[in-house]
């Protein structure tokens, strides 16, 4: 195992009674594409000519009931999880580069923003996109594979109108850079992600690092923000559950409009679990609308006066409930943080406008690492891809491919081999006093925030991959 393994995300997965038998010992070059709808190999074109993507994985996830993370983490309370080796059983069959690509699942919200003529309405769509970007994390408690230095991932989705390239640009600290652009020239979406994680005994907290930038080219507008904090509870004992919390500020650098979103912590009785509330103000700091909802469900917009009237009415009702409630009946649990009962409905205020609603997950999602349909397609190796993919692309990683195919022993062996290869390459560079050179991104200054960032240098889709490193 690699002691330099960065603990990117939640450390464990959901309990499952599902089991499997290894389904394939083939290498990634022999991988086949599964179409979940048709139940046969190969992707199938839709009537409009756009290729369908698979809706299932080659093999279901395995049982994690017999594994404990406590022996690994008990000495790490309060420390940053930068050198913690985790068994592959706690992974999901995606690289972190593929995981951050899930920001693009609701790209239609960016396209909607591009089509709107009013800047406040555009900000509403951008705010909904920022919330939707974390929605795929709901119940996704598996750990993505740590990208190898120089690893890349590309995704072209003609049905959603974008293409994306990402690269692991640094190993210490681990930094993933991405750049997505509209196929019709409407927008550019880019950023660099450096998640800083700590283990706190019963939970793992992820502090967001890195700036997200969205450029709406037709409107000459630029929006920037950072993601909320994320916490995975009960990594040692009890049912795993996730909350997002913290303040996210989205700034329109062109108009001065600003959206402030408060991802609320669940609170003592769980009333605030998953809730997001905020507002949009113009450059004169006048509040133009209130945004509310849940990052696991939907987001709405309403007039500030209507929101305040509804809030006052709710407070009166809460006071009556509190007078009759006996707090002594609530028992404390020293071993696990009880997950509050979740009512996945948002009380809609009259006059509200729906901004976004989460897409339904496939019925078999629970046996497939709780993947969304979008996530299910990310490691798909379509016919003809091997001829055009960069040799550093995540789809070609043999450990991830083996895990996806249900061969955990092979996945573990390949993971160790790749990590040892990475360590050897690093030692060789150190001995030869060679500096690692990134291929598609360079370190620079974000022109809109003046903060350090990794900027795309272009040229990836020219398909000239002759000078890429051999990392697999």
List the chain domain ranges.
Answer: 28-242+356-459
Cα–Cα distance, 188 to 110 (Å, whole number): 10
Tokens 């993505």 -> residue: 144
Mean pLDDT within 301-312: 92
Both tokens of residue 448?
């809109």
How close are the terminal C-alpha atoms of the chain, in Å? 16
112 three-class SS: helix
pLDDT at position 332 is 45
**Which segment of 37-46, 89-98, 129-138, 438-447 scores lowest on mean pLDDT?**
37-46
pLDDT at position 231 is 78
For residues 461 and 71, the model is more confident at 461
Report the Cα 130 to chain-centroid distance in Å: 11
pLDDT at 30 exceeding the cut of 50: no
CA nearest 454: which of 445, 463, 443, 464? 443
Q: Spell out the alpha helix ranges (H) of 9-156.
A: 70-73, 96-101, 108-115, 119-132
pLDDT at position 340 is 56
pLDDT at 178 exceeding the cut of 90: yes
**Which segment of 21-35, 114-128, 170-184 scores lowest on mean pLDDT?**
21-35
Cα–Cα distance, 43 to 50 (Å, whole number): 10
Average pLDDT over the chain, rounded to an integer: 82
- To the question of pTM greater than 0.75 for the whole model, the response is yes
pLDDT band at 20 (very low <50, low <70, confident <90, very high): very low
**Alpha-carbon separation of residue 105 from 43, 109, 222 (angstroms):** 19, 10, 20
Cα–Cα distance, 175 to 192 (Å, whole number): 7
pLDDT band at 14 (very low <50, low <70, confident <90, very high): very low
Mean pLDDT within 255-270: 87
The β-bridge partners of 174 are 171
Mean pLDDT within 160-189: 96
Q: What contacts 329, CB < 8 A, 6 or more positions away?
A: none
Cα–Cα distance, 163 to 182 (Å, whole number): 7
CA nearest 121: which of 276, 268, 255? 255
């Amino acid at each position: 195992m690699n002691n330099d393994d960065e603990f990117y995300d939640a450390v464990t997965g959901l309990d499952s009674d599902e089991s499997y038998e290894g389904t394939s010992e083939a290498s990634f070059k022999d991988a086949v594409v599964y179409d979940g709808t048709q139940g046969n190999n190969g992707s199938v074109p839709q009537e409009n000519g756009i290729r369908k993507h698979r809706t299932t994985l080659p093999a279901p996830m395995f049982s994690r009931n017999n594994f404990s993370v406590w022996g690994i983490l008990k000495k790490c309370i309060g420390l940053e999880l930068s050198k913690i080796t985790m068994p592959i059983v706690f992974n999901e069959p995606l690289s972190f580069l593929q995981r951050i690509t899930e920001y693009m699942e609701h790209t239609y919200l960016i396209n909607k923003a591009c089509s709107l003529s009013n800047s406040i309405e555009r900000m509403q769509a951008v705010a909904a996109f920022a919330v939707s970007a974390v929605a795929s994390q709901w119940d996704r408690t598996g750990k993505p594979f740590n990208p190898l230095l120089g690893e890349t991932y590309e995704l072209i989705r003609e049905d959603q109108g974008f293409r994306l390239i990402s690269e692991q640009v640094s190993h210490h600290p681990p930094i993933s850079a991405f750049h997505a652009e509209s196929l019709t020239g409407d927008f550019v979406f880019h950023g660099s992600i450096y998640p800083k994680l700590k283990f706190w005994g019963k939970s793992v907290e992820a502090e967001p690092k890195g700036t997200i930038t969205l450029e709406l080219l037709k409107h000459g507008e630029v929006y920037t923000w950072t993601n909320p904090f994320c916490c995975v509870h009960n990594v040692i004992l009890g049912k795993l559950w996730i909350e997002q919390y913290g303040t996210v500020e989205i700034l329109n650098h062109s108009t001065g409009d600003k959206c402030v979103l408060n991802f609320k912590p669940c609170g003592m009785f769980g009333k605030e679990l998953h809730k997001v509330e905020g507002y949009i103000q113009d450059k004169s700091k006048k509040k133009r609308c209130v945004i509310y909802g849940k990052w696991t469900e939907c987001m709405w917009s309403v007039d500030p006066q209507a929101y305040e009237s509804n809030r006052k009415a709710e407070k009166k009702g809460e006071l009556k409930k509190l007078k009759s409630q006996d707090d002594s009946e609530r028992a404390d649990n020293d071993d696990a943080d009880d997950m509050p009962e979740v009512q996945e409905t948002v009380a809609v205020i009259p006059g509200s406008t729906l901004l976004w609603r989460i897409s339904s997950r496939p019925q078999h999602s629970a046996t497939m690492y709780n993947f969304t349909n979008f996530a299910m397609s990310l490691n798909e190796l379509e016919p003809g891809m091997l001829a055009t993919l960069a040799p550093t692309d995540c789809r070609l990683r043999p450990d991830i491919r083996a895990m996806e195919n249900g061969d955990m022993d092979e996945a573990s062996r390949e993971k160790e081999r790749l990590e040892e290869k990475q360590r050897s390459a690093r030692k060789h560079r150190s001995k030869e006093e060679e500096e690692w050179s990134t291929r598609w991104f360079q370190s620079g200054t974000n022109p809109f925030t003046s903060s350090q960032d990794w900027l795309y240098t272009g040229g990836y889709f020219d398909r000239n991959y002759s000078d890429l490193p051999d990392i697999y």
